[in-house]
Amino acid sequence: MEVQRHKHKTMDNKTVIRGVVLLLFAIIFGAFLAHSLGQVLSPQQLVSFETGVKFQFYAGFFLLILGLNQSKFPFSLKWITHLFFLGGCLFSFSIYLLNLFSGNSVTKFLGPITPVGGSLMIIALFLFLFKLLKTSEI
């Protein structure tokens, strides 16, 4: 006998997994920052690296919340979650690499990546807000 699947998912596993992966690596990079990078990076680089960790946490929590609450939204979260995940990765990981390889030729390539990542997260949030306002009864 075949089990019927619900047409409307209560949770989006892919989004939850992406959120958890971002949180996992934010904790790993935060620990790396706290225990190993103090002797290697300048105070300004440490602050910058920490900004990457913070924004990675924000992205992870946002995706986790959206993924766990998929059924509460009367619209698709697909583009919102894709843009936010990609933006969070580009933003945070470019900051990590910029600080770990400062002065290297890698920084010329990575420099513009950080604002692209931040812009994608902002676009995703504007899209989310637009969809919320469009479907709400104000």
The pTM of this model reads 0.87
Residues 60 and 19 sit within 8 Å (Cβ to Cβ): yes
Give the Cα separation of 21 and 77 in Å (integer). 18
Per-residue pLDDT tens over the stretch 2-57? 444 445 567 889 999 999 999 999 999 999 888 888 888 899 999 999 999 999 99
The residue among 100 and 105 whose pLDDT is bigger is 100
How far are the Cα atoms of 14, 16, 84, 137 from residue 131, in angstroms, in the given order?
A: 21, 20, 15, 12
Position 72 confidence tier, pLDDT thresholds 50, 70, 90? very high
Residues 46 and 33 sit within 8 Å (Cβ to Cβ): yes
Give the Cα separation of 84 and 37 in Å (integer). 28
Percent of residues in the chain assigned helix, strand, coil, to nearest 5: 75, 0, 25
Going from N- to C-terminal start, the domains of the chain cover 13-135
